[in-house]
Chain A
């Protein structure tokens, strides 16, 4: 408490008379960051009050700041000298606060961030740059750069602080300049590392820029931190400019190699919160094409962005279906993004202009892979295949070939073939689904039995089945009402006492 009282007294003195201006060092000293967090916090608060008052009183030097030593020598008035000196102290304070954003205590970090943002707001209101003509931008970009740099440390995860910062991003102008600053920061930092990925830094950048909420219309842009009269003429107020900055930021970010986890995260949000806000979404093509070529889950995720480019921006993708076909491997039924992948595959295969051999190859491959799938995926894929049959009646030979050769010693379908046109799928039959009619799960067996009969005209709705999880399936089963319970009639003889018990052969009860 004594400490706070002293600080308050100091503040009074500095603000009260210029003769005691030197006491400002007492305030700045704890900001060096060696003190206890509580002391730093109180000092930072006092500084915030002090420089806030000074800014409001316009007692800081305006214009390009001359060197401290030079200012003393040259012929400035005493008033100017004081202002220049005070402005230097202000700069020191900002520097200290910027460093404090890397302090261990979150409390300190948060306060440093808030204080800096308060300065940003005040500086924008009482600019420290000379207004030469009416259109001069008064926003303190340099100060904001300090904040952004503080938010993006290269050696730790700052997502907590970043989430605290989100509220400022609602201001359209702040967002605009933050995006610019981030672009600049990425350029600087990544250049140094020479294409070596920096997991923490990139993660931080991602958590800063991924939640950015771009306005949809220009009329929505009304929330500015700095009220300027000539807003309409400024670039700042145009959506086009915002989009441009946004686009540039993302492209810069994605230009560099990403760690796998981050890659997936980016791809997950890309189609939803990035592509719609770009001036030219086709610029993403390179990134997406590369991602699509990587294989595995990343390819699956890239599919979504590609779909938007193909669908809405006339992207021509050579051998798209061939690539999609090669994406089908046993893991598709087990990965987390199964629902999204099959949703898109359904979209891609919904065109009725696709050749029958292609669809047949897809059907055959999907059902071949279904032999390793868990029941929740099977419950989705069987109606999916039924839908394909409905859309492409030419493929029905797969389930109904009345005049075919009676005995075949080999399945004509070639699983290993990359090219769907050479896979000879149309000569084959869906024995896989027939095998699944013997599946242990009653619903799967029933669903597979549908293919024995001729299909109804209406397509099944699979949107509800896409997200089906194993636990849901289990829960549904367990909650069924029991009418009567059949019992085992063979008398038990012990835990492993059944006839030909496998356990008795391999396990012992010790």
Chain B
């Protein structure tokens, strides 16, 4: 362009890598652009400032740039047609009526005008000239012209079939085909159903019969599989090696497992020390792009890897797994089949349907096998009551066959309970497993939330079982497994529900303290919950969202709750055990534990003993709960045998004899000795171990009446004392960690990472953003002001030019008038002069 029209913005320094946008300006061009734009907008507005009429363009989509012109045309056409549809032309009175002439439609006649003409041509009847036919039937397409003549006759028949009709025809055809197919399938289905029904009738007959008939008969009934069959089956079931993965030897497998465990253990240790918590937190876990975020992690391969040992396939593990699993496995298979069937047929889940469409044959077999197994086992176990077993078994089988394969996740606790009510432990477990399987998070969207709820229900159920009059601890023992599995699937939900339970329990206790001034130990359910916590979560962590509150809750129990009965002592000792278990790996120090054990020993002594120790709350040196564990009866002492304390005594103390109570007391005492021994072993490494254990030691050595105890108890006592005494006293003076020297001030330049030139880097990201916003706002404001100013200037210019124009026009007119007047005057004078002359 013209170099005179270019303004160059001179750069002070040349900076490498910086892109400059505005090094050359074109003032002339931009000015003319601005003026042009104003001419189009501002000027227009200005000129129309006193006009109220507006011209509206209502053409469809005229200014809509999103629509392509083609589409725009189509839409406009459609709109036009829509407008005209149904609207009769007022001038066309009988549009629908057909005009006829001699019974023939006029329109038809008009169409076939030329043909009639040709008909009338008698000389060459039946033969039409090629040009004519081409003109009439060719449709204008040059390509068609050649074959038209040969297929003329056909063409005439098919002529009314337009493209649309053709398509319709096709659709109809396909529909028909589809229908046929469907009917075929339906009939097939019907047939299979019928077959199923028939089979079921027979099957029920068989099922009824088999248990009644003796086992021998059954074996006879079953045809013995011959060798060939067996081999074929074996081959069929034999695992096939896949080329993708190398076979792993047993050592390799073991190594892998070991590595996994080592990694987990290292992780646990790191958390236990609680060192790099922060460092760990900041790193976000990697998310794959394919991650569904459904919490489903396939952390171990379920498939059994093929391994060899001494050249033989290693399958011992399988057999060892136990017979129960077989049964379950088979049921799983059934389920999978069923699921796939369901998916293909896209049927609704039938929750309570007892007769699901499972593969009945294999089902029956498995059941039979299971029943057989059971029977055998039972026979071995209790041979003296065979009749009883026989009575039981058919019932059980009947109940088993009732167990449905699919379950919806219960929405409320009541439905959950009703689902499990009246079932045996095994069945309950199966039900739970099936619920989990059928509602796996990978199967449907809402399943995750549902299963998370299930964990809460299960916990509640466990609590309820524990609070029963006769606590069903065996059931709880088994239910721990599904709890563990659910917890592995949904750690957050599980931790939340357990924390909720703990918070409730602590809250209740606090309220009781406020009202009554003292607290009592909670029920067995809370104890069980605390135990479950230790099973589900790692208790060795430095801080853990569930375990730490549980720790504190237990600490409160040991310090705040009054001890008035033997049950309280048992509960307290249970919590002591829990504490020990919690800290068994991390070896953390629990003062409450030692205090409590000391107190328990204290209440096993006769009153008014000379003291060299102090007991702390909730035990008191004087008071009524003294001598709670004291046993004086010589015979009871003699007849005592160490036995495990049944947990059910916690909820209800059986009306037992004095002797039994005394025995329980002695068992508690033995437990206490054992706990002291364990504590001593655990806290050996603490620098003030001797100070911690000092009161216990004094009590053990000076006050405990060892000689009165039975021999077994003496053993417990001596082992505890030995553990306490054979520890070396070893003290080294403390030395502070050295202070890190404060670095001197240095004058090396501070190096800051520059991300973008011309931007201020100081401040946090948020502040930077704020600054940027402020700056942008400023710039925009300035720009707007400039624009407004320019607008005003432009308007003023326009007004001025208007005024000038008006003025000049007026001047011109005035001049004209004056001129014409002058000429008039001149003429008049001339005339006058003429007259004068004349």
Contacts and interface: CB of A to CB of B under 8 A. Distances in A.
Interface of A: 329-331, 333-334, 368, 371-375, 398-402, 404-411, 415, 429-432, 434-436, 438-442, 445, 452-454, 470-471, 473-475, 477-478, 480, 482-489, 491-492, 494-498, 501-503, 505-510
B338 interface: no
Interface stretch (B177-185, B321-329, B405-413, B554-562): B554-562
Contacts of A435: 589, 686-689, 692
B492 interface: yes
A383 B624 CA distance: 37
Nearest to B598: A372
Contacts of A492: 480-481, 484, 535-536
Contacts of B692: 371, 435
18 contacts: A330-B616, A409-B729, A431-B731, A440-B583, A453-B739, A471-B510, A473-B552, A474-B549, A480-B545, A486-B538, A488-B537, A495-B473, A495-B476, A495-B477, A497-B477, A503-B581, A509-B473, A509-B646
Interface in B551-588: 551-553, 555-556, 559-560, 573-574, 577, 580-583, 586-588
A510 to B, nearest CB: 4
Given A440-B583, A454-B737, A475-B506, 11 more contacts: A372-B616, A374-B559, A409-B731, A439-B591, A452-B737, A453-B736, A470-B555, A494-B477, A502-B581, A502-B674, A503-B531
Contacts of B203: none
Contact of B645 (A453, A474, A495, A507): A507
B543 interface: yes
Nearest to A453: B737
Interface in B526-550: 528, 531-532, 535-538, 541-546, 548-549
Nearest to B548: A477
A484 B491 contact: yes
A408 to B, nearest CB: 4
B589 A436 contact: yes
Contacts of B577: 502-503, 506-507
Contact of B736 (A409, A452, A471): A452
B616 A506 contact: no
B544 A486 contact: yes
Contacts of A373: 591
Interface residues of B, number: 95
Interface in B474-513: 474, 476-478, 480-481, 484, 487-488, 491-492, 494-496, 499, 502-503, 506, 510
B437 interface: no
Given A371-B691, A435-B688, A502 B644 contact: no
B662 interface: no
B589 A407 contact: no
B646 A510 contact: yes
Given A334-B559, A372-B594, A482 B477 contact: no
B552 A501 contact: no
Interface string B790-810: 000000000000000000000
Contacts of B592: 374
Given A410-B729, A478-B502, A434 B495 contact: no
Q: Which 9 A-B pairs have the closest CB atoms?
A: A404-B733, A510-B646, A508-B644, A431-B687, A485-B491, A509-B473, A401-B733, A440-B588, A408-B731
Nearest to B692: A371
A471 B732 CA distance: 37
Given A375-B552, A435-B692, A441-B551, A429 B733 contact: yes
Given A372-B594, A454-B739, A509-B474, A410 B731 contact: yes
A400 B735 contact: yes
A470 B560 contact: yes
A102 B268 CA distance: 71
B734 interface: yes
Contacts of A374: 555, 559, 591-592
Contacts of A375: 552, 555
B528 A407 contact: no
The listed residue with most B CB atoms (<10 A of its CB), out of A453, A482, A483, A498, is A482
Nearest to A334: B617
Interface in B111-164: none
A478 B503 contact: yes
Contacts of B532: 495
A407 B687 contact: no
B589 to A, nearest CB: 5
Contact of A486 (B541, B553, B617, B647): B541
B614 interface: yes
B574 A491 contact: no
A63 to B, nearest CB: 56
B499 A478 contact: yes
Interface in B611-648: 614, 616-617, 644-648
B703 interface: no
Contacts of A510: 473, 646-648
A462 to B, nearest CB: 20
Nearest to B646: A510
B530 to A, nearest CB: 11
Contacts of A430: 734
Contacts of B555: 374-375, 440-441, 470
Contacts of A454: 736-737, 739
A107 B565 CA distance: 43
Contacts of A485: 491-492, 494-495, 537, 544-546
